[in-house]
C-alpha cells in the first residue's frame, strides 16, 4: 500500500467546473500533485499540458498529470466534478438519474484502488450525490464533504457587498439548505462590516424586500449564467479550492459545505448545506446556526425536498 506523504489531489471530471478548480489549485499552490481523470482523454491531455505551462508563475510547484484510478491509493483528497451539467432551464434535481450512475461507478473505482483520504463532491444534485458518495464509499461521514452552498453563500456575500459598498470578505452570511431552488438565506445571524443585519432589519423593516430580492437573484443566478455562457465554473472552482485549502492546511475554518446532519436543525441522515468546521480530518463538526421560526420552516422544507429524492435511491430504514 502506498502511503500519502504529500498533498496529492485526484480530480475526477475535467469539464468546465473541473478545469476551473484545477486552475485555482495551481494558481494558489494548494497541492503538490494534481492527477486528473476524465473519460475524454484527448481534451484532458490538452488541459494537463496547458495547466503545467502556468506552474512556473505559481506560488509553488504543482505537478499536474493525467491520472488513473491507481493514483487514488496515496491521494489526500479525491474531488468529483464529473457528470452531466444543467442545460438551460433544467433544475439540478433533474440531473439525479444520470449522475447517480456515474457517481457509483467512480466511487467503486476509487475505493477499489485503496483510497483512504477525503472526498469532496461538486457534481449535481450535490447534496444527494454527496450522500450517495458516503454510502457507496463506506467511509465515515466526516471524510465525505459536498460543496453544498459554498457557491451560493459566496454569491450572496458578493451581492450584499455591492449593496453596502463593502468587500465581500467583510460580509458574513450563509445560504443554507439544498444547493438549489429550496435554499434559504440566514439573515438573522448575518453581519455587514460587523453590524448585525437583524438589528438593521428591526430599525428599518423596508430593508426586508430588498434583501429578499438579493437572495432570489442569488438563488436564480446559475440559470442566468448558464443561459449566458453555458455553465458556471469560476465561482465554484474557487469555492472548491477554498474547501481543499481548509482540508490540506488543517485550517479549522468555518465554510459552507454539504455535511451529514445528525440531529442538527432537527434533521438527520441527510447531506445538506450548512456551515461546518473543516480541517485535515474533514468535517470536524457541523455548525448549527440559530434560526428564526421562519428560517427553520424553510430549512425543513428544503430538507424534506431532498429527502424525498434521496429515499428513491436509498430507502429509509424501518425504525
Ligand atoms: N456544486 C456546485 O456548486 C456546482 C456548480 C456548477 C456545476 N456543478 C456541477 O458540476 C458537474 C460538472 O459540470 P461541468 O459544467 O464541468 O460539466 P461538463 O459537461 O463541462 O464536464 C463534465 C465532465 O465530466 C466528464 N465525465 C463524465 N462522466 C465521467 C466519468 N464516468 N468519469 C470521468 N469523467 C467523466 C466529462 O467527460 C466532462 O469532461 C455537473 O454535475 C454540474 O451540475 C456543480
Q: Please write the tens of the pLDDT for every residue from 263-283.
A: 999 999 999 999 999 999 999
**Integer Cα distance of 306 and 260 in angstroms:** 13
Name the closest-CA residue to atom 23, ligand 1. 15
Name the closest-CA residue to atom 1, ligand 1. 122
pLDDT bracket for residue 318 (50, 70, 90): low
Residue 6: what pLDDT? 78
pLDDT average, residue stretch 32-59: 97
- Confidence check: pLDDT of 319 > 80: no
pLDDT bracket for residue 92 (50, 70, 90): confident
Is the distance from CB of 139 to CB of 119 less than 8 angstroms?
Answer: yes
Closest CA to 256 of 233, 227, 235, 231: 235
% the chain with pLDDT above 70: 98
Residue 4: what pLDDT? 61
Strands 171-172, 144-146: pairing kind: unpaired
First to last CA, the chain: 39
Q: Taking the CA atoms of 130, 132, 133 and 135 in sequence, report the sign of the dihedral they define.
A: positive
pLDDT average, residue stretch 140-169: 97
Per the structure block, which three cell numbers stand in for 9?
Answer: 489531489
The residue written with cell numbers 461546518 in the block is 276
* Burial tier of 138 (Cβ tally within 10 Å: 0-12, 13-18, 19+): exposed
Cα 84 to ligand 1 centroid, rounded to whole Å: 5
Could you give the 3-state DSSP secondary structure of residue 124?
A: coil
The residue written with cell numbers 467546473 in the block is 17
- Please list the alpha-helical segments (H only) found in 29-181: 41-52, 96-112, 126-137, 150-164
The residue written with cell numbers 440559470 in the block is 223
- Confidence check: pLDDT of 126 > 90: yes
The partner residues of 272 in beta bridges, in order of sequence, read 259
pLDDT average, residue stretch 34-63: 97
Per-residue pLDDT of 8-43, as tens digits, reads: 999 999 999 999 999 999 999 999 999 999 999 999
Give the pocket of ligand 1 (CB within 6 Å).
12-18, 37-40, 81-86, 95, 99, 102, 105-106, 122-124, 126, 147, 151, 179, 231-232, 236
pLDDT average, residue stretch 170-176: 97
- Confidence check: pLDDT of 94 > 90: no
- Confidence check: pLDDT of 65 > 70: yes
**Integer Cα distance of 106 and 298 in angstroms:** 33
**Integer Cα distance of 14 and 249 in angstroms:** 24
- Determine which of 34-48, 52-66, 67-81, 194-208 has the lowest per-residue pLDDT on average: 194-208
Cα 16 to ligand 1 centroid, rounded to whole Å: 7
pLDDT average, residue stretch 112-129: 97
Per-residue pLDDT of 285-313, as tens digits, reads: 999 999 999 999 999 999 999 999 999 99
Per the structure block, which three cell numbers stand in for 282?
Answer: 474533514
**Where does residue 241 fall: left (phi above 0), alpha (psi -120 to 50 degrees), or beta otherwise?**
alpha
- Confidence check: pLDDT of 86 > 90: no
**Integer Cα distance of 170 and 121 in angstroms:** 28
Per the structure block, which three cell numbers stand in for 234?
Answer: 469560476
pLDDT bracket for residue 5 (50, 70, 90): low
**Integer Cα distance of 214 and 33 in angstroms:** 39
Residues 6+ apart with CB under 8 A from 263: none
- 185 to each of 166, 196, 197, how far by Cα in Å? 19, 15, 12
pLDDT average, residue stretch 217-243: 95
**Integer Cα distance of 2 and 113 in angstroms:** 10
**Integer Cα distance of 272 and 89 in angstroms:** 23
Cα 293 to ligand 1 centroid, rounded to whole Å: 36
Amino acid at each position: 500500500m502506498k502511503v500519502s506523504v504529500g498533498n496529492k489531489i485526484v480530480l475526477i471530471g475535467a469539464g468546465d467546473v473541473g478545469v476551473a478548480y484545477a486552475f485555482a489549485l495551481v494558481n494558489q499552490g494548494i497541492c503538490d500533485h494534481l492527477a486528473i481523470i476524465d473519460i475524454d482523454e484527448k481534451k484532458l491531455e490538452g488541459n494537463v499540458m496547458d495547466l503545467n505551462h502556468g506552474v512556473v508563475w505559481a506560488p509553488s510547484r504543482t505537478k499536474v498529470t493525467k491520472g488513473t484510478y491507481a493514483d487514488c491509493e496515496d491521494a489526500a483528497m479525491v474531488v468529483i466534478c464529473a457528470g452531466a451539467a444543467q442545460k438551460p432551464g433544467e433544475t439540478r434535481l433533474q440531473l439525479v438519474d444520470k449522475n447517480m450512475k456515474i457517481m457509483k461507478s467512480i466511487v467503486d473505482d476509487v475505493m477499489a484502488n485503496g483510497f483512504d483520504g477525503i472526498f469532496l463532491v461538486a457534481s449535481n444534485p450535490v447534496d444527494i450525490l454527496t450522500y450517495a458518495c458516503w454510502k457507496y464509499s463506506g467511509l465515515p461521514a466526516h471524510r465525505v464533504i459536498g460543496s453544498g452552498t459554498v457557491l451560493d453563500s459566496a454569491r450572496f456575500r458578493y451581492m450584499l457587498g455591492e449593496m453596502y459598498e463593502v468587500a465581500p470578505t467583510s460580509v458574513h452570511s450563509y445560504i443554507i439548505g439544498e444547493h438549489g431552488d429550496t435554499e434559504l438565506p440566514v439573515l438573522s445571524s448575518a453581519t455587514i462590516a460587523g453590524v448585525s443585519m437583524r438589528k438593521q432589519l428591526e430599525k428599518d423593516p423596508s430593508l426586508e424586500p430588498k434583501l429578499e430580492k438579493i437572495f432570489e437573484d442569488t438563488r436564480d443566478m446559475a440559470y442566468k449564467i448558464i443561459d449566458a455562457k453555458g455553465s458556471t465554473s469560476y465561482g465554484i472552482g474557487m469555492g472548491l479550492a477554498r474547501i481543499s485549502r481548509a482540508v490540506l492546511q488543517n485550517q479549522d475554518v468555518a465554510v459552507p459545505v454539504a455535511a451529514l446532519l445528525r440531529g442538527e436543525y432537527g434533521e438527520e441522515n441527510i447531506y445538506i448545506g450548512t456551515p461546518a468546521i473543516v480541517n485535515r480530518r474533514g468535517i470536524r463538526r457541523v455548525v448549527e446556526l440559530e434560526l428564526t421560526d421562519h428560517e427553520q420552516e424553510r430549512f425543513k422544507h428544503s430538507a424534506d425536498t431532498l429527502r424525498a429524492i434521496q429515499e428513491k435511491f436509498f430507502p429509509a430504514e424501518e425504525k
